[in-house]
Amino acid sequence: MPPSYEASTAFGADVAVERDFLRQVFAWMFLALALTTGIAIWFHQSNTALNYFASHTTIFYIALFGQLAMVFVLSRVLSSQRISVSVAALLFFLYAGLTGVVFSVLLDVYTTDSVVGAFAGAAGVFGGMAAVGYTTQTDLSRFGGILFGALIGLIVASVAFIFTGGGLFNLIIGFAGVLIFSGLTAYDIQRLKVMRAQGFANAETAEKLAIFGALRLYLDFINLFISLLRIFGGGRR
């Protein structure tokens, strides 16, 4: 994926081709979200993950930080030309499955109303910002560096919160997360449009980049959900 681009490139693309590519991206994303949700619900209902993590706290933190490390590894691997579509899909779904296991703990911590409300709110914000990214004529690439820097700061703050806690700190992280991942959603959608407009070497490359794009959007949605849960998740069990 090119590091920089001109947003104007996207606006001359064949609309049918562009929409077909974005449909592939969203199909992969929704499959991953469905897997995460299904695994989270199954582990929650069986209490398997909660009971295991309660007696193996170290393993929980390994899984939690392993998710973060896996994001960087996946981003590198999925954008590589050396792996096949099947391997790219397998790695993506493995990550989605691991996220589901970790998220099953959230279902034990927060009430169903809090989780459903945060999920619905994330869907609304994600949909709105995706529409902005798809329709805007403004080149959002100029904000890429700012959003990435803010994301690094948010990650550091989130790690610090694990060890320090604090209600106000949690709210600040939540609001910052909503702003950052709202911006990243619009940015990523426009970036995907430009990628499609620039063309791909072959169908396999297009499919792998669709999976890579799905990972980006999946992360945007998941982090919007977590951020809203921080803000409105006062209903703990």
Q: Is a pLDDT exceeding 80 seen at residue 68?
A: no
The model's pTM: 0.84
Backbone angles phi, psi at 84, to 5 degrees: -85, 165
Question: What is the distance between the terminal CA atoms of the chain, rounded to a whole angstrom?
Answer: 44
Q: Which two tokens stand for residue 198?
A: 């620039």
Distance of alpha carbon 138 from alpha carbon 126, whole angstroms = 19
Percent of the chain exceeding pLDDT 70 equals: 80
Q: Which two tokens stand for residue 143?
A: 């904000």
Q: What is the pLDDT of residue 133?
A: 94
Q: What is the pLDDT of residues 83-106, one digit of tens each?
A: 788 888 998 998 999 899 888 888
Length of the chain: 237
DSSP summary character for residue 163? H
CA distances (Å), origin 53, targets 42, 48, 115 = 15, 9, 20
- Tell me the pLDDT band of 50, cut-offs 50, 70 and 90: low
Chain centre distance of CA 162: 20
Q: What is the pLDDT of residues 115-130, one digit of tens each?
A: 999 999 999 999 999 9
What's the CA angle centered on 49, arms 45 and 52, to 5 degrees?
A: 130
Q: What is the pLDDT of residue 164?
A: 79
Distance of alpha carbon 159 from alpha carbon 169, whole angstroms = 12
Distance of alpha carbon 118 from alpha carbon 224, whole angstroms = 8
- Tell me the pLDDT band of 44, cut-offs 50, 70 and 90: confident
Q: What is the pLDDT of residues 147-168, one digit of tens each?
A: 989 998 988 888 788 777 778 8
Q: What is the pLDDT of residue 65?
A: 67
Return the C-alpha torsion angle 111, 233, 26, 98, nearest 10: -70
Contact 105, 49 (CB under 8 A): yes
CA-based max dimension of the chain: 57
Distance of alpha carbon 10 from alpha carbon 14, whole angstroms = 9
Residue labelled with tokens 């809090």: 114
Q: What is the pLDDT of residue 130?
A: 96
Regarding predicted confidence, which is higher, 222 or 203? 222
- Domain spans in the chain, listed from the N-terminal domain onward: 13-232
- Count of C-beta atoms within a 10 Å radius of residue 14: 10
Regarding predicted confidence, which is higher, 88 or 234? 88
